[in-house]
Structure 1
Amino acid sequence: MRVALVSDPLTVHGGAERVIEQMLSLFPQADVFAIVDIVPPAQRGFLGDRPVTTSFIQRIPGGARRYQSLFPLWPLAVEQFDLTAYDLVLSSHHGVAYGVLTRPGQVHVSYVHSPMRYAWDQQHAYLREAGLERGAKSWLARWALHKARLWDFAAAQRPDILVANSQFVAGRIRTAHRREATVIHPPVATRALASWARTDQGPPGGYYLSVGRLVPYKRTELLARAFAQMPDLRLKIVGDGPDAKRIAALAAPNVELLGRVPTEEVHRLMAGADALVYAGIEDFGIAAVEAQATGTPVVAYRAGGMAEIIVGSGSPGTTGGFIESQTEDGIIAAVRAFEEARRPRASDCIANAARFSEERFRESFAGVVERALASKGQPEVPIGREQPAAWPPELAAAE
């Protein structure tokens, strides 16, 4: 069986690339296609030694560098990949990947990280953040987004099966595309975090932690403003971005901006925190699962994927708490309630995180593909569910 895997731009080894890594472990024979490929050499391990076939955008002078500004060409670019020789097409989608053209008899399964959010439910927020609420440029942008919605709706009808990374994203697919999606949460390397896991008796480090890009929709500035009103509590912020200057301008002595830090340091900070805190709306929330894999609770806004990850207070195996409103008062109330309540057990957090392991992702995704192949009369094929050989034995046994 010949397998093609189609991706939006490959830029770093992030959440979407972790999904691709697990798809490739299931289908090691797959050929990879991408709009552009600019993954740094040090991060290319998830691709193995596979070459990546890129679109014409990579060959435009400066296209790899300016790929975001060339977004209007992405739909045309993905439709130029010739996949007629393949039996199975997999796509990893957050922009245009599920719009690839297939022939009758092929099976196309698309893993959707998000519909084209800037063209659908978040259009007005994107226009506002880009300063395009009024004027001629605003109307040009609105017209371009209108055309993008028309293409995106048609493209979303092309895959045989849509797989969403959360119930939240499945709901957005239902609203935008009038299609049902199977939910398979993205893979998280819970085994790799076992060495950082604390025990139920492990003392917290006396600080709360925020991890993520400092951009408006993450609402990290709102967290910082709330903690500035709680001088008895400390907040450490990992990440950088346009909101960093506004957070620094607060000059709150109990709010510390750490910028970018190495991955191992992030995991150390997670393992020592009283809780990971988050006030934005995420499609899923990999950092929250990583924190829980180290035994750390999460306090987050009750929306998006976070509502599917956290086991709230009052339920067996509590793993954190919820912020009920995206306001400073809402954050303060949630953190104070967390402080006063019995702390979640590290073992409960670790057990909860195991629901999102890489092994469970592979098993679930392989099952979906097998059913899709059977529905079109394709012969059964072996799908490699085993752990990648690159995993150290001590981590493989640690979940």
Structure 2
Amino acid sequence: MAAATRPPRVLLVHYWLVGMRGGEKVLEALCRMFPGADILTHVIDHDSLSPRLHQHRILTTSINQLPWSKQLYQSYLPLMPQALEACDLAGYDLVISSESGPTKGVIVPPDTPHLCYCHSPMRYIWDQYHTYKASAGVFARLAMPYIAHRLRQWDVTSAARVDQFVANSEHVANRVQKYWRREAAVVHPPVGVADFAPVTPDKRGDYYLWLGELAPYKRPDLAVEAFTRSGRPLKLIGGPDNSVSRLEKNAGSNIEFLGKTDFDTLKYHLARCKALIFPGEEDFGIVPVEALASGRPVIGFNRGGIRDTIADGRTGILYDEATVEGLNAAVSRFEDSDLATCGSDVFTRAAAEFSEERFAREMWSLIKAMPLPHGVDWR
């Protein structure tokens, strides 16, 4: 008689749960794959989470008990490695960490496989360290050299604890190799492509669209300056309000700031713009795929994850110079191409390659190849 087996007990480790952004959407997809899994995180804001995540048992590290942790969680970054290592993971048969802040450093039982889905190695201690330091306050700038040095040591050491790395793009896989010297499979994150739909050509507008958080690395300033110079109409969706005020000072009358909008308004403009403008460098970039699902092409800077999502000349225009001249030349190239007038089918077909079904299928292929503890098996 064959020995009795039971299904694995799964733990999902996520850096912090204080909002619903791209990383949390991936976590939701993992929760649908493992409806009985527990979640471990450093800090939780229950009011900011989706109903899907609330269906799971959520555990926290000691960071959650520190003063004002929901607001100051990033200030507690130096304490997170020790907080992770203090967590007892006995009884779990599979651990999947979702890495962008510290999560992969958990210590799992010897026979428990650990898969890390990496959104990005921590930018603030690696490739964007000097950018973050330059924009930090006085005390943070003084402390960062020591803290970042120690965090880098732990980050590299803890990478050796992971059995299988999965990166969300080729760009991130290259950074995993660069900083951790580990190979990573590439599985693109799931995008809610079914939530978007194209409109007929007669309903489209004559404006371009920039969409996202108005953070410096997303380069809304470059888009504003380029379109102010060219005179072409541009709408920007995103906040915060103080960033809108700063950008408005240098914007021409052809630039319209819509601020933060509801989802219906966002979808309305994605489907009706001439093209999405994407001048920043992202690890993956969900917004370009949402534009494709809305039947619209993308004009983007040829760095980072956009290389995985946009085919130059077929679903958009990619340009190499991160300058006003480079962006305006790309827009001119777009207007002279067939992309400006072609149908939406080519874009929506490309977007369909990033569905949650594809994500789950590729993740299952990797997960089921990992050896589980004795007496545990997928049923």
The separation in 2 between residues aligned to 1:290 and 1:140, in whole angstroms, is 39
The separation in 2 between residues aligned to 1:54 and 1:296, in whole angstroms, is 41
Question: Residues 253, 73 of structure 1: CA spacing in aligned structure 2 closer, same or farther, 3 A cutoff?
Answer: same
SS at match of 2:69: coil
The separation in 2 between residues aligned to 1:324 and 1:378, in whole angstroms, is 53
Deviation for aligned residue 1:137: 5.4
Maintained 8 Å contact 1:228/1:255: yes
Q: How does 1:249-398 map to 2 (within 5 A)?
A: 249-313=249-313, 318-343=314-339, 344-373=342-371, 379-382=376-379
Structure 2 match to 1:392: none
Structure 2 match to 1:191: 194
Which amino acid is 2:223 matched to? L
Which amino acid is 1:311 matched to? A
Moved more, 46-55 or 98-107: 46-55
Q: How does 1:30-41 map to 2 (within 5 A)?
A: 30-40=37-47
Give the structure-2-normalised TM-score: 0.93
Structure 1 match to 2:209: 209
Which amino acid is 2:338 matched to? R
Q: Does 1:172 align with 2:175?
A: yes
Maintained 8 Å contact 1:18/1:46: no
Question: Residues 103, 202 of structure 1: CA spacing in aligned structure 2 closer, same or farther, 3 A cutoff?
Answer: farther
The separation in 2 between residues aligned to 1:302 and 1:137, in whole angstroms, is 32
Moved more, 136-145 or 260-269: 136-145
Deviation for aligned residue 1:266: 0.6
Deviation for aligned residue 1:259: 0.7
Structure 1 match to 2:78: 72
SS at match of 1:289: helix
Structure 1 match to 2:234: 235
The separation in 2 between residues aligned to 1:39 and 1:357, in whole angstroms, is 27
Deviation for aligned residue 1:202: 4.9
Deviation for aligned residue 1:197: 1.9
1:133-159 CA-partner distances (Å, limit 9, x unpaired):
xxx853421111111100100111111
Q: Does 1:20 align with 2:18?
A: no
Maintained 8 Å contact 1:322/1:334: yes
1:280-306 CA-partner distances (Å, limit 9, x unpaired):
100001011011001010000001001
Q: How many residues align?
A: 369
Which amino acid is 1:187 matched to? P
Q: Does 1:111 align with 2:117?
A: yes
Deviation for aligned residue 1:39: 4.1
Maintained 8 Å contact 1:111/1:165: yes
SS at match of 2:359: helix
Structure 2 match to 1:10: 17
Deviation for aligned residue 1:307: 1.3
The separation in 1 between residues aligned to 2:150 and 2:144, in whole angstroms, is 10
The separation in 1 between residues aligned to 2:195 and 2:54, in whole angstroms, is 19
Moved more, 96-105 or 338-347: 338-347
Moved more, 32-41 or 302-311: 32-41
Maintained 8 Å contact 1:319/1:345: no
1:99-158 CA-partner distances (Å, limit 9, x unpaired):
1111210011110000011111111111122256xxx85342111111110010011111
The separation in 2 between residues aligned to 1:181 and 1:218, in whole angstroms, is 25
Question: Residues 137, 33 of structure 1: CA spacing in aligned structure 2 closer, same or farther, 3 A cutoff?
Answer: closer
Question: Residues 235, 55 of structure 1: CA spacing in aligned structure 2 closer, same or farther, 3 A cutoff?
Answer: same
1:183-225 CA-partner distances (Å, limit 9, x unpaired):
00000011122xx3234x4553111001111111111111100
Structure 2 unmatched ranges of 5 or more: 1-7
Which of 141, 158, 163 is matched with 1:160 structurally? Answer: 163
RMSD (CA atoms): 1.7
SS at match of 2:146: helix
SS at match of 2:367: helix
Question: Residues 203, 153 of structure 1: CA spacing in aligned structure 2 closer, same or farther, 3 A cutoff?
Answer: same
The separation in 1 between residues aligned to 2:375 and 2:238, in whole angstroms, is 46
Identity, in percent, stands at 37
Moved more, 78-87 or 43-52: 43-52
The separation in 1 between residues aligned to 2:131 and 2:202, in whole angstroms, is 41
Deviation for aligned residue 1:69: 1.3
1:56-79 CA-partner distances (Å, limit 9, x unpaired):
111123223321211111111121
Q: How does 1:26-65 map to 2 (within 5 A)?
A: 26-40=33-47, 43-65=49-71
Maintained 8 Å contact 2:36/2:56: no
Maintained 8 Å contact 2:167/2:188: yes
Maintained 8 Å contact 1:5/1:89: yes
